């Protein structure tokens, strides 16, 4: 998370929780609720197919294949988007709380910028359905998803390597 003003970074904070932790939360949830063991790739597919951070107009379902932890045999379970939202709840709360924390630390002089310009979400996980809506509800700020969020990190890294003026944006430690 970074608070940016006048083209410079005012504050940064790193919470090592993002897309991968969402996948892990889905694995844990299905293990606990259904005694079903699934792989990381399946968890990611579920997240992308029916994952959400905010109630959907039409809730979604998906069939999940995994291994029954009691019988040790393959089993199919049908799960819905409300369950996956429950699975993601803790991970998403951690993200929301970290955003609120950095906003609390932001100098009040920047409040009008924040209200006017809002929050931009980057990273592939920003594409989770309703994440923008959840963060907007919890921060009372306008929130939008960056253009092509999945590649924003690599594109940003490339820019920093090409032009050192981007590197100078970071406050010296
Ligand atoms: N449509 C989608 N919905 C939810 N997550 C997605 C979607 N598409 C890709 N992802 C997730 O994006 C992640 C990869 O992107 P990336 O690592 O840039 O972002 P991130 O994990 O959200 O943030 P960070 O940059 O902090 O790692 C993977 O976890 C992938 O599953
Ligand atoms: Mg990631």
Ligand 1 lined by 17 (C-beta under 6 Å): no
User: Are residues 32 and 67 located together in one domain of the fold?
Assistant: yes
The full DSSP string for 5-31 is ETTEEEEE-----SHHHHHHHHHHHHH
What is the pLDDT confidence band of residue 160, given thresholds at 50, 70 and 90?
confident
Pocket test for ligand 1, best of 12, 15, 19, 20 (most atoms within 8 A of CB): 19
Last residue in a domain, options 37, 58, 87: 87
Domain CATH for 80: 3.90.640.10
The domain tally of the chain equals 2
99, 135 contact by CB (below 8 A): yes
Q: Which domain holds residue 102?
A: 2-14+94-167
Last residue in a domain, options 61, 87, 113: 87
Last residue in a domain, options 35, 60, 87: 87
User: Are residues 47 and 74 located together in one domain of the fold?
Assistant: yes
What is the pLDDT confidence band of residue 172, given thresholds at 50, 70 and 90?
low
Q: Which ligand places an atom closest to the C-alpha of 149?
A: 1
pLDDT tens track for 1-59:
999 998 788 999 999 999 999 999 999 999 999 999 999 999 999 999 999 999 999 99
User: Are residues 36 and 61 located together in one domain of the fold?
Assistant: yes
- 75 φψ region: left (φ > 0), alpha (ψ -120 to 50), beta (else): beta
pTM score of the predicted model: 0.93
Is residue 157 situated within a structural domain? yes
User: Are residues 8 and 55 located together in one domain of the fold?
Assistant: no
**pLDDT value at residue 163:** 84
Stretch 101-130: mean pLDDT:
95
Residue ranges in 35-144 assigned as alpha helix (H)? 40-50, 81-105, 111-117, 131-139
Is residue 159 situated within a structural domain? yes
**pLDDT value at residue 171:** 62
Ligand 1 lined by 69 (C-beta under 6 Å): no
pLDDT tens track for 64-88:
999 999 999 999 999 999 999 999 9
Percent of the chain, pLDDT > 90? 87
């Amino acid at each position: 998370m970074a608070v940016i003003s006048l083209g410079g970074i005012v504050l940064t904070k790193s919470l090592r929780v993002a897309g991968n932790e969402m996948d892990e939360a889905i694995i844990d949830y299905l293990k606990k609720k259904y005694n079903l063991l699934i792989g990381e790739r399946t968890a990611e597919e579920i997240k992308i197919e029916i994952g959400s951070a905010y109630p959907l107009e039409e809730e979604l379902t998906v069939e999940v294949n995994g291994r029954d932890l009691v019988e040790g045999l393959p089993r199919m379970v049908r799960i819905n988007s409300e369950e996956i939202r429950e699975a993601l709840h803790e991970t998403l709360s951690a993200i929301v709380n970290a955003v609120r924390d950095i906003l609390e630390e932001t100098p009040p002089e920047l409040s009008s910028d924040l209200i006017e310009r809002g929050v931009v979400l980057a990273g592939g996980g920003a594409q989770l359905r309703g994440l923008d809506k959840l963060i907007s509800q919890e921060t009372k700020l306008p929130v939008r998803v960056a253009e092509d969020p999945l590649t924003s990190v690599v594109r940003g890294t490339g820019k920093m390597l090409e032009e050192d003026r981007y590197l100078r944006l970071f406050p010296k430690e």
